[in-house]
């Protein structure tokens, strides 16, 4: 697992604390959640934000809530991407969407059997630890079952935002779901799980 930036940032503005009962941090899947999914993308020019991303992240920052990205990037392990490629894409995403407090990246191929590739809990635990918060105080937002599995395995709350690649059984099994990113963050900030309000 890679975490960058390597030094934990002073991500919370002094005097700004999250609303009572809400999450300390929201951890987003990258591809299909924050950006349009381009398989094995190492080209910053192909980064396209999903609808509502800059405004949604700005809302979290203003509320004193940490922002992280937890992403499987098996293209590195498969030899299709380099770590520098991944970081260039992340820099472009941050240029478009604003600062991200922590990036937690699994660079391994699926057959590596690592503890960080979602649905394993390593990325969620690593990002939470980097931010100095507990996984149970985090919400994970993503578009497939692996994101929800990683949240559950780490003890975090998971909210699914389905896309055309989300399987019907993944939608049905999701602990919570929302129609889009804005609605998912509305749910996250509500402070309690709402499995019915889908």
pLDDT score of 102 = 96
Tokens, residue 165: 């690649």
- Which of 17, 102, 30 is closest to 65 using CA atoms? 17
Mean pLDDT throughout 60-66? 93
Label residue 195 by pLDDT band (50, 70, 90).
Answer: very low
- What DSSP assignment string belongs to 93-118? HHHHH---SEEEEE---GGG--SSST
Q: Is the pLDDT of residue 157 over 60?
A: yes
Q: What is the pLDDT of residue 13?
A: 60
Would residue 195 count as lying in a domain? no
Q: What is the pLDDT of residue 171?
A: 97
Q: 124-133: per-residue pLDDT in tens?
A: 999 999 999 9
Q: How many domains does the chain have?
A: 1
- Does residue 27 lie within any of the structural domains? yes
Record the pTM: 0.92
* Residue 100 counted as domain residue: yes
| Mean pLDDT value of segment 139-147 | 98
On whether residue 80 sits in a domain, the answer given is: yes
Q: What is the mean pLDDT of residues 106-124?
A: 96
Catalytic residues: 29, 31
Torsion angles phi and psi, residue 170, rounded to 5: -70, -40
* Residue 16 pLDDT grade (very low, low, confident, very high; cuts 50, 70, 90): low
The answer to whether residue 129 sits within a structural domain is yes
pLDDT at 10: 60
133-159: average pLDDT: 97
Q: Confidence class of residue 198 from pLDDT cuts 50, 70 and 90?
A: very low
Is residue 84 situated within a structural domain? Answer: yes
Is the pLDDT confidence value at 197 over 50? no
Looking at residue 196, what is its pLDDT? 40
Q: Is residue 47 part of a domain?
A: yes
| Average pLDDT value for residue range 37-57 | 96
CATH code (residue 22): 3.40.50.1000
Instruction: Quote the mean pLDDT of the chain.
Output: 91
Range of the domain at 91: 2-7+18-190
Element (H, E) at 159: strand 157-160
Within a domain: 180: yes
CB 141 within 8 A of CB 26: yes
């Amino acid at each position: 697992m890679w975490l960058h930036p390597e030094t934990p940032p002073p991500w919370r503005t002094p005097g700004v604390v999250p609303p009572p009962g809400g999450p300390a941090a929201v951890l987003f899947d990258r591809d299909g959640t924050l950006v349009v999914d381009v398989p094995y993308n190492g080209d910053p020019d192909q980064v396209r934000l999903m609808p509502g991303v800059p405004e949604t992240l700005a809302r979290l920052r203003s509320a004193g809530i940490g922002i992280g990205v937890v992403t499987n990037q098996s293209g590195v392990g498969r030899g299709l991407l380099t770590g520098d490629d991944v970081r260039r894409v992340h820099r472009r995403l941050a240029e478009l969407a604003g600062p991200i407090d922590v990036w937690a990246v699994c660079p391994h191929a699926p057959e590596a059997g690592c503890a960080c590739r979602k649905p394993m809990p390593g990325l969620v635990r690593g990002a939470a630890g980097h931010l100095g918060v507990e996984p149970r105080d985090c919400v994970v937002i993503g578009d497939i079952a692996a994101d929800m599995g990683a949240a559950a395995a780490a003890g975090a709350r998971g909210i699914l935002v389905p896309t055309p690649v989300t399987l019907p059984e993944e939608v049905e099994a999701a602990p919570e779901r929302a129609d889009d990113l804005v609605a998912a963050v509305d749910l996250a900030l509500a402070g309690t799980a709402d499995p019915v309000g889908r």
